Every structure is written in C-alpha cells, then in structure tokens.
Amino acid sequence: MSRSINNWIRWWRRLLRRFVSYGDRPHPTPPLAKGREQDLASPLAKGGLRGVKQWLLLSLLIIAIASACSSTVIERVPTPASEASLAPCRTVKHAMGETCIPQNPQRIVTLWMSTFGNTLALGIKPIATTQSLGEPLPKYLQGKADGVESVGTLVQPNLEKILLLKPDLILSMTRPYLENIYTQLSDIAPTVVMDISTPPSSWEKHLEDVASLFDKEQEKKQLIDQYWQRIKQLKQALGVGVASPKENRRHHLQVSVATVDQNYGIYTYGKKSPIGVVLNDIGLQRPSAQRGDFFTKSNISQENLSEVDGDVLFLSHWGGESGKEVLEKLKQSPLWQNLKVVQKNRVYFVDAYNWYGFDVLAMNAVIDDLFKYLVNTP
C-alpha cells in the first residue's frame, strides 16, 4: 500500500513542477478595467495562474491518494470463497443447484460420516468431518483418519471452526438442518449438497455419487469388485449354495440384527437397510419379522421381543453411556432371558457405526464381523 502511494506522490510532484515552471514564464497581462483593481486583493487572485494550478493539482493529488488507498484495502480482504472462485474449477450439479468446485481440492470438509468414509476409501483424505456428539471416530476408521478435525455434529456443524480451517470444498447432504445453512457454507467455500434420501438409499449408490464428484470411477470399480470378492469368500466359508445339506448347514441360520437406543428403544433392520442388503448378498436367512421391505422397525415392545430372536443375534447400541444403560436394563429382563438366541449364547455385540453405516469401509467392517462370529467362532 505505501509503495503505491509513494509512486502516486512522485508522479504528481513531477507534474506539479512542470506546471509551476510553466506558470512562472512571462506573459503579457491585459490592462484591468477601471474599478477592477480591488479584485486583486482576493487570495486566489494574489496567487495568479500559478496559484490556481497549485490548488487544482493538490486537489487531484488528494483524490488520487484516496483512490489508491481504497483499492488497496479491497484487494487485501478476500473471502475464502472468493479466493476459491479464482482457481480453475468445474461446474457440478447437486441438490441445491450448481457449484464450481476446484479441479483438485486439497482441503475437503465432509458433514456426514459416510461421505467421509467413502471419500477416504477413494484415496482422498478430508481435513475435517462431523461426528456424533461425545463419541470417538468409529473403530473401522481409527488409524485411517489421523489428524482429521471434528467440526461439530451432523445436525449442528461448527461454522466458525469450518471457516478457520479454510476448506476449498464442503460436502453436505439433503437434510433440513444442513440446507438451512447452505448459504453460510457457500460463503466459506464451494459447497456440494449430495442427494441422500430419507432413509438413505444403498451404500453403493452413495459411493458412486462421491466417486463421480471426484472423477474416481476406476477406484470405485475396484472397491465394489473387492466387496463382491469378499462376499464370495464368505459364502464359500459358510457353505452357502453348495449341494450337500451337511456342508450347507449355516445357510439356514436365521441372522437377526437389532440396535438399542434411548430414543427409539429396540429396533430391527429390514431388507432396505445397508446391513439387510449385505446379508441378502451373502444369501443368509432372516427371522420372519425382519424379512419385510422396510428400513428399520423401531420401538419394539418387551412383549414383542421375540422379533429380535434368531439363531444368531448381532446387537449394538447408540447413545454412549445412556445407550449402554438401556442395553444393560434389557439384559436384565426375564423376557430377554427367554430368547433362544440368549439361551444358546449366540448374541454378538457389535459396533453400531459398522452395522448402520452407508460407506464401503463400514460394509467391509461388517464382513469382518461376519467372518469372526459365523466362520471363526465355534
């Protein structure tokens, strides 16, 4: 800023000297009309032409300096979004319209854990994500997300912290509480709102959307191929599809999946849930109450607790310590003790993040659990 002002001053000084020297040259002065002699007493007249030029040039100098100062200040206070808009970008369509995103974003913030997981799986490490209040990162992400910042929760992202991180891309989703802050997010950085239905569609669809956004089609194909390869290995280990009923003994296992939550009580998972899709891909059977074309069924009463029964039960809980308390209370119930899966000691406690996830890393964690408890456990 000071260099710009000094340049202006030097230029105007040279111009001023030129005009002043020109004004000092002798010029013929016309005779004054009678009665006009008194006009010479005015300050402006006393300076003559030289004075007029000096005042005029001084005024222009002040205006020029003020203009230089104001333009310099404007240039030095860019917003993160305006800086990002100057970089090469490509336009993508999303749930809230169109956004020009960087060609190769380096500082990505995700506002949904499953978007974070799929982005990570595609070989791109975001700098921050939201997570459940008071909960650590899911176990299946630990070791893969070192240095990743937490920016609040899904329902209440910390806008101030996001701003301080200076992201060059924000990945949001279609939920009212996030759509309401779309303008604020867009002021921070280019923001893409991914279309996630309620309840969400399959984990594979979300992986495809994230891969398309980052032009990672080949990486997506490899991840899906690896998933199906693991499904095939698990089916072989379980004897699913073999001709001999003796070898196919585990194919007829009825696999129950349930979660305990302080707000929704006990709920089970239907065919439309991600875990329902995985179990169907393997070819495992479900209890009759969990074969419906639904996502989850919540608030199962104690009287209907038989709906969670099966040959094996994968049970999880949400809500930190409060969720654990609900789970412990359930385990003390006589109706719980009467379940055949409890009596056979085939209840396996698993991480809810894995079994309720919508990203390929979570699905692989579920397959790990199925190998552990259905293949490697006697």
187 assigned to some structural domain: yes
pLDDT tens-place string over residues 155-191:
999 999 999 999 999 999 999 999 999 999 999 999 9
Residues contacting residue 332 through CB under 8 Å, at least 6 positions apart: none
**Confidence at 58, pLDDT banded by 50, 70, 90:** low
Asked if 243 and 180 sit in the same domain, the reply is: no
86 and 198 part of one domain: yes
Q: Is the pLDDT of residue 20 over 50?
A: no
Residue 275: the pLDDT is 94
181 & 281 share domain? no
- The answer as to whether 40 is a domain residue is no
Domain hosting 298: range is 226-375
Q: How do 128-129 and 149-150 pair as beta strands?
A: parallel
The reply to whether 155 falls in a domain is yes
Least confident residue range of 70-74, 192-196, 311-315: 70-74
Binned at pLDDT 50, 70 and 90, residue 111 comes out as very high
pLDDT score of 41 more than 60: no
Instruction: Indicate if 236 and 195 belong to the same structural domain.
Output: no
Of 166, 193, 215, which closes a domain?
Answer: 215
User: Final residue of a domain: which of 77, 93, 112?
Assistant: 77
The predicted structure's pLDDT at residue 201? 74
The verdict on residue 121 lying in a domain is yes
Give the pLDDT score at 72.
36
Using CA atoms of 56, 58, 63, 64 in order, give the dihedral in degrees to the nearest 10. 110
Q: Please determine, for residue 6, whether its predicted confidence score (pLDDT) is greater than 60.
A: no
Name the band, by pLDDT with cuts 50, 70 and 90, for residue 76: very low
- Cα angle 243, 246, 248 (rounded to 5 degrees) comes to 55
Tell me which residue of 147, 149, 106 sits closest to 130, measured CA to CA. 149
Question: Do 174 and 305 lie in a common domain?
Answer: no
pLDDT at 80: 52
Residue of 46 and 135 predicted with greater confidence: 135
- Which pLDDT score is estimated for 56? 56
| pLDDT more than 90, % of the chain | 59
Residues 237 and 363 in one domain: yes
Whether residue 102 lies inside any domain: the answer is: yes
Which residues, at least 6 apart from 171, have a Cβ–Cβ distance to it below 8 Å? 108, 109, 110, 111, 112, 115, 119, 126, 191, 192, 194, 210, 213
Q: What is the pLDDT of residue 73?
A: 39
Residue 42 has pLDDT above 50, yes or no: no
Q: 336 and 246 share a domain?
A: yes
Give the pLDDT mean for 280-287.
95
Residue 257's pLDDT band (boundaries 50, 70, 90)? very high
Number of domains in the chain: 3
Do 204 and 338 belong to one domain? no
Q: Is residue 39 part of a domain?
A: no
Angle in degrees, 0-180, between the axes of helices 274-282 and 360-370, rounded to the nearest 10? 50
Q: Are residues 281 and 313 in the same domain?
A: yes
Q: Are residues 351 and 242 in the same domain?
A: yes
Same domain, residue pair 285 and 332: yes
Residue ending a domain, choose from 188, 215, 242: 215
Direct distance between the N- and C-terminal alpha carbons of the chain, in angstroms, rounded to an integer: 76
In tens, the pLDDT along 213-228 reads: 999 999 999 999 999 9
CATH number, domain with residue 151: 3.40.50.1980
Assess if residue 44 is contained within a domain.
Answer: no
215-219, 301-305, 370-374: the lowest-pLDDT one: 301-305
Residue 33 placed within a domain: no
| Model confidence at 28: pLDDT above 60 | no
CA distance 308 to 315: 9
Q: Which residue has the higher pLDDT, 335 or 321?
A: 335
Same domain, 162 and 292: no
For residue 38, what pLDDT is reported?
42
Identify the pLDDT of residue 242: 56
Give the pLDDT confidence score for residue 152 in this predicted structure.
Answer: 94
Res 199: pLDDT: 81
pTM strictly above 0.95: no
**Mean per-residue pLDDT over the chain, rounded:** 82
